[in-house]
Amino acid sequence: MKKFVLYTAAAVFVIINFISCAQDKNSITINQFKEKIKNDSSLVILDVRTPQELSGPLGHLNGIINIPVQELQERVHELDKYKDKEIAVICRTGHRSSIAANILNKDGFNAVSVSGGMTAYRENEKQ
């Protein structure tokens, strides 16, 4: 009986997570992100990975602003001058950027999370 309850709870969690991700209006695909980079010179790119990750194997994009997600609440004021611009938030896989985009949007910014993050960005480069 305990296993049934555990499996049911896990299944419900997965379904809710899938539905919430599928309906996330605050995210963009890698292709949409690359289009924005190419066509929108005012796009702000916020990388919410740690400084150590920026020098890791995935590297980083030129011209980014780096504020790790765990510091974003305390440092959000550093982005005030970008409140009238769209902010594309990126991380390694898209999880932290989704959290950060939600924080920013609640604070009055226009932020979108880049789905798949730098992992997907680098994979897309290989194609």
Residue 25 confidence (pLDDT) = 81
Q: What is the mean pLDDT of residues 10-21?
A: 45
Q: What is the mean pLDDT of residues 33-50?
A: 97
Residue 126 confidence (pLDDT) = 86
Q: What is the mean pLDDT of residues 50-74?
A: 97
pLDDT class for 112, splitting at 50, 70, 90? very high
User: pTM surpassing 0.75?
Assistant: yes
pLDDT reading at 43 higher than 70: yes
pLDDT reading at 30 higher than 50: yes
Residue pair 30/104 in contact by the 8 Å Cβ criterion: no
Domain 26-126 carries which CATH code? 3.40.250.10
Residue 8 confidence (pLDDT) = 52
pLDDT reading at 6 higher than 50: no
DSSP structure string for 89-115 = EE-SSSHHHHHHHHHHHHTT-EEEEET
Residue 19 confidence (pLDDT) = 42
CA-based torsion, 50, 95, 84, 74: positive or negative: negative
